[in-house]
Amino acid sequence: MSIWKQRVTIDHLNRLNENTMGASIGIEFTSIGDNYLEATMPVDHRTVQPMGLLHGGASVAMAETLGSVAGVLVLENTDQQAVVGIEINANHLRAATEGIVTGRVEPIRIGRSIQVWRIIIRDEQNRQICESRLTTMVINRGA
């Protein structure tokens, strides 16, 4: 049984991502499961730090993008409610210097006012390079 309350496609998610920071650093949604979303991001000139390693900020931006989108998709009424991030942390576990990384978001807790999301980012060899946790708050639009 799916946790998603909004009906969306990969194409729709990627259109929502247009003209955002996520699009600027190359994030593309690739998969929707019953309780997860996945996206990819290139390790390239947009996402590395001066030593050529994937920038921790790029990993955190990917995590927040995945978690925030997931948070919206579990809302009953997006005309009246929105989701805002209130805390994020990330453990950078392994360096990535090239290729594409894949992030996967899954819920830890989906409450009426607080959501907690786990985001794992892996390299092309399926090695975990980052684990992040995002807490979001559900707010009333216009509040």
State the residue for tokens 């607080």. 114
- List the catalytic residue out of 28, 38, 64, 131: 64
Known active-site residue 98? no
SS3 letters for the chain?
CCCCCCCCCHHHHHHHCCCCHHHHCCCEEEEECCCCEEEEEECCCCCECCCCCECHHHHHHHHHHHHHHHHHHCCCCCCCEEEEEEEEEEEECCCCCCCEEEEEEEEEEECCCEEEEEEEEECCCCCEEEEEEEEEEEEECCC
Catalytic residues: 64
